Amino acid sequence: MEIDLWWLLALPAFFAFGWAAARVDIRHLVSQSRALPASYFRGLNFLLNEEPDKAIDAFIEVVKVDPETIELHFALGNLFRRRGEIDRAIRMHSNLVNRPDLDEGDRLHALYELGQDYLKSGLLDRAEEALDKLAGTAYAARARRFLLDIYQLEKDWPRAIAAARAIEADGGESLQGQIAQFHCEAAARLVAQSRPEEAVAAARAALAANRKAVRASMILGDIAAAAGRHEEAIERWRAIESQDPAYLSLVAPRFVESYRALGRVREGLALVAGYLAQYPSAELLETVFDLKVAEDGPEPAYRMVRDELRRNPTLSGLDKLLEAQVMLAGPERQADLQLVKGLVHAHARRLSRYTCENCGFKARQYFWRCPGCGAWESYPPRRAEEVGHPA
């Protein structure tokens, strides 16, 4: 009972202490808010109303009145960068980096922001220099992601691979697909420089990073074919079926050329026709059609494309059907069929594009990396009409 009585006496005291502390905090907040210039609150209001231009003007007034507002300097720098005024953002963050009285944590933050400013302005060497200085700091992991972007822009694939592996080691997402693409980019460059043995090593490194790297198999096949090793080339390209059969359409013409070099065109025709039966696509149909016309004539080619069109109707298939009909028609009907075919071909050509699934960028040729958004492997290996994208 004695303990309960003490608790009853203590509770009002605790309440009084809490009330007094709250009053002190409120007074402190009120005094702080009164110390802030009115332009600070105007700037906040403009930001809330999505008027960044007016917010910048208001915040600049605050900085002139109170140059010690570090966080406001950061906010202004980011607003400048977002609005495209990169020079002003660089000046703002450079001034912070060079301030002798700045706290080390704020200086590193300013250096991190400055690196982004330089990257946005295209000054890659300065961006790299600024971000490299963040190694071993709390900003190192975030800086590495921007450095990875820089290495890709510079096409410095060895350093891009090293940066991607470091990001993985930081505990980020798996970048094995991108690492394989970096190896493939290095291999393609080595092929262009007539260094096939090194290119083979780079392509194999891509497969070691990602066994589903279709591009690596294509490169290895191309190197073998260029050296006259067509059997090896065919085996390399056939491996694509187990990686991702949708990409077989991209190598179908290569199969034909290698089988022709070996003097086994009929075998090549049977292979690509079998792929068409299993994995229908416009590119495979065009390859089989052209080879069928060359080997068997227009009548068998017409029957083949007619059957394929019933199974998998596409505008490009109709274009090939009309092409076969023009070959088979007499002189009196050829003019009319050519007119219809011309109209169909023009529309089919509009749809004969690859479309990035990330940003919608359209291209007539296939890209492993989108020229629009920079995403890797964002193009399906099928044209717009087959994947349902609008023209």
DSSP string of 139-187?
Answer: THHHHHHHHHHHHHHHT-HHHHHHHHHHHHHTT----HHHHHHHHHHHH
Spell out the domains of the chain, with CATH numbers in brackets.
Answer: 28-167 (1.25.40.10), 174-240 (1.25.40.10), 354-391 (no CATH)
**Amino acid present at 65:** V
State the chain's mean pLDDT as an integer.
Answer: 81
The per-residue pLDDT for 11 is: 46
The per-residue pLDDT for 110 is: 87
Given a contact cutoff of 8 angstroms between Cβ atoms, the answer to whether 87 and 94 are in contact is no
Instruction: Give residue-wise pLDDT tens across range 107-153.
Output: 899 899 999 999 999 999 999 999 999 998 999 999 999 999 999 99
The per-residue pLDDT for 144 is: 93
Neighbours of 173 (CB within 10 A): 7
Model confidence at 330: pLDDT above 60: yes
Report which of 260, 259, 253 is spatially closest to residue 288, judged by C-alpha positions. Answer: 253
Instruction: Please state which of the ranges 10-19, 134-143, 144-153, 336-345 shows the lowest mean pLDDT.
Output: 10-19
The per-residue pLDDT for 19 is: 43
The per-residue pLDDT for 108 is: 92
Query: Residue 37 contacts by C-beta under 8 Å, 6 or more apart in sequence?
Result: 61, 62, 65, 66
Between these two residues, 13 and 335, which has the higher pLDDT value? 335
Model confidence at 101: pLDDT above 50: yes
Residue range 306-312: mean pLDDT, rounded = 88
The per-residue pLDDT for 317 is: 80
Model confidence at 373: pLDDT above 80: yes
Given a contact cutoff of 8 angstroms between Cβ atoms, the answer to whether 110 and 80 are in contact is no
Instruction: Please state which of the ranges 41-50, 72-81, 174-183 shows the lowest mean pLDDT.
Output: 41-50
The beta strand positions in 315-386, using DSSP E, are 354-355, 362-363
Instruction: Please state which of the ranges 50-59, 65-74, 287-296, 353-362 shows the lowest mean pLDDT.
Output: 50-59
Residue range 338-364: mean pLDDT, rounded = 80
The per-residue pLDDT for 54 is: 56
**DSSP character string of 55-109:** HHHHHHHHHHH-TT-HHHHHHHHHHHHHHT-HHHHHHHHHHHHT-TTS-HHHHHH
Question: What radius of gyration, in Å, describes the C-alpha atoms of the chain?
Answer: 32
The per-residue pLDDT for 386 is: 59
Instruction: Please state which of the ranges 54-63, 87-96, 203-212 shows the lowest mean pLDDT.
Output: 54-63
The per-residue pLDDT for 390 is: 45
Instruction: Please state which of the ranges 225-229, 251-255, 366-370, 379-383 shows the lowest mean pLDDT.
Output: 379-383
The beta strand positions in 246-376, using DSSP E, are 354-355, 362-363
Strand partners, 362: 355
The first and second tokens of residue 298, run together, are 């227009």
The per-residue pLDDT for 106 is: 84
Given a contact cutoff of 8 angstroms between Cβ atoms, the answer to whether 340 and 321 are in contact is no
The per-residue pLDDT for 346 is: 73
Report which of 310, 245, 300 is spatially closest to residue 276, judged by C-alpha positions. Answer: 245
Between these two residues, 3 and 29, which has the higher pLDDT value? 3
Q: Give the chain's length.
A: 391
CA distances, 333 to each of 30, 78, 325, 329, 366 (Å):
91, 68, 10, 6, 37
Between these two residues, 269 and 48, which has the higher pLDDT value? 269
Percent of the chain with pLDDT over 90: 47
The per-residue pLDDT for 316 is: 81
**Distance (Å, rounded) from C-alpha 95 to C-alpha 113?**
12
pTM: 0.77
Instruction: Please state which of the ranges 25-39, 191-205, 244-258, 363-377 shows the lowest mean pLDDT.
Output: 25-39
The per-residue pLDDT for 221 is: 97
Percent of the chain with pLDDT over 70: 79
